[in-house]
Amino acid sequence: MSIEQQKPVIGFTCGDLNGIGMELIIKALSSGSIMDLCTPVVFASAKSINFYRKSMPDINFVYNTTKEFNKLSTKQVNLYNCWEEEVAINPGILNETGGKYALISLQEGVKALKGGQIHALVTAPIHKKNIQSERFKYTGHTPYLKNEFNAPDVAMMMVADNMRVALLTEHIPVSEIAKHVTKENIISKLRIINGSLQKDFGIDKPRIAVLGLNPHAGDDGLVGTEEETIIKPAIKDAKHGMMVFGPYSADAFFARGSHEKFDVVLAMYHDQGLIPFKSLAAGEGVNYTAGLGVVRTSPDHGTAFDIAGKGVADCSSFFAAIFEAIDICRRRMGYEAARQNPLKKMSARLFANTVDERIEEAEG
């Protein structure tokens, strides 16, 4: 994205057709202030949008249908029509249809991201079971995107105004967590999140906290040895190029507010990191895929079948995902410009200030 191009093109996948994804998209993108910040492209179908738009008559949602990225409207939402056939939409129902078209939308969004037609992708929630097929054999967006972009490794990073939490392991059974806690995996994740904090979040010298695997971080080997034999040696080696601290006992770490002293916390497994994150992020968390090479964000919740189609879905996390995608595009531009010449660096800062003001106005 050039310095002169102040409005990034942001793609949106629809998620499970029977979940709240389309409602979130319609609600969020009906805000006029969003158009000042980016050029949205929704990967879905006109019929699916119209289905949910009818259930929200009070929302004025206007869109431009196109199949040509060089003819995107900068004044209204763009719909990239991914399918033409009639699709039975049943809000709140878990079925193969919801998963099938969620995958079609995701594939088209990824294709556009690979081709450089969009600068970032915001993915609405999928249901991990009903999206399974010959073309999708993954436990979620993160491993799918890792494979699609041939990334050696990536990190799921949950982001909010008051904290960031990255995961060493993601969607794996609890019984298998320990075997994935290796020195190599820890150092790999630390390098990814350290680089991401510098490039994507503008933090020159990130402070990273690492949690232990066992209760009380092993109590010096009394209730587990992974801290002594694996985690501490990994932290020691990582300290040569990064500011890494720990391992900390997970139960007391968040309760005492220790996370506020660090730029990110590396948790050993899913619930260890996400339970405190979702409790403290006040419903405005964002799932960001660090190390991917491209920008992808998502709200920090699921398909919410229980409220789908009722028009009551809360857009807070989805809004946060949009703003974070825009902001990361801006920060990456500043990061690259800062390594070129002083004049471009100054222009990047001016653009960054402009985006910050626009975001404050939109949120206000």
Pair (140, 40) in one structural domain: yes
Report pTM.
0.89
Which residues of the chain are under the pLDDT cut of 70? Answer: 1-6, 337-364
Q: What distance in Å separates the CA atoms of residue 212 and residue 296, rounded to the nearest whole number?
A: 28
Q: What distance in Å separates the CA atoms of residue 148 and residue 146, rounded to the nearest whole number?
A: 6
Instruction: Report the CATH number at residue 33.
Output: 3.40.718.10
Pair (71, 144) in one structural domain: yes
In total, how many domains does the chain have? Answer: 2
Please give the pLDDT value at position 363: 46
Query: In what order do the strands lie in the sheet containing 207-211?
Result: 63-66, 77-81, 39-44, 9-13, 120-123, 295-299, 286-290, 155-160, 163-167, 264-267, 207-211, 243-248
Q: What digits encode the pLDDT tens for the residues 315-340? A: 999 999 999 999 999 999 877 766 66
Pair (106, 209) in one structural domain: no
Q: What digits encode the pLDDT tens for the residues 68-87? A: 999 999 999 999 999 999 99
Please give the pLDDT value at position 47: 95
Q: CB neighbours (10 Å) of residue 179?
A: 9
Pair (4, 90) in one structural domain: yes
Phi and psi angles of residue 265, each rounded to the nearest 5 degrees, phi first = -120, 130
Please give the pLDDT value at position 2: 41
Beta bridge partners of 208: 244, 264
Contact 158, 317 (CB under 8 A): no
Pair (157, 210) in one structural domain: yes
Domain boundary residue, one of 254, 285, 316: 285
Pair (133, 181) in one structural domain: no
Please give the pLDDT value at position 338: 67
Which DSSP state fits 176?
G
Pair (2, 147) in one structural domain: yes
Pair (95, 192) in one structural domain: no
Burial class (CB in 10 A: 0-12, 13-18, 19+), 97: middle
Pair (113, 243) in one structural domain: no
Domain boundary residue, one of 285, 320, 347: 285
Please give the pLDDT value at position 55: 87
In terms of residue numbers, what domain contains 205? 153-285
Pair (178, 199) in one structural domain: yes
Q: What distance in Å separates the CA atoms of residue 271 and residue 211, rounded to the nearest whole number?
A: 12
Domain boundary residue, one of 285, 300, 316: 285
Pair (89, 113) in one structural domain: yes
Pair (246, 316) in one structural domain: no
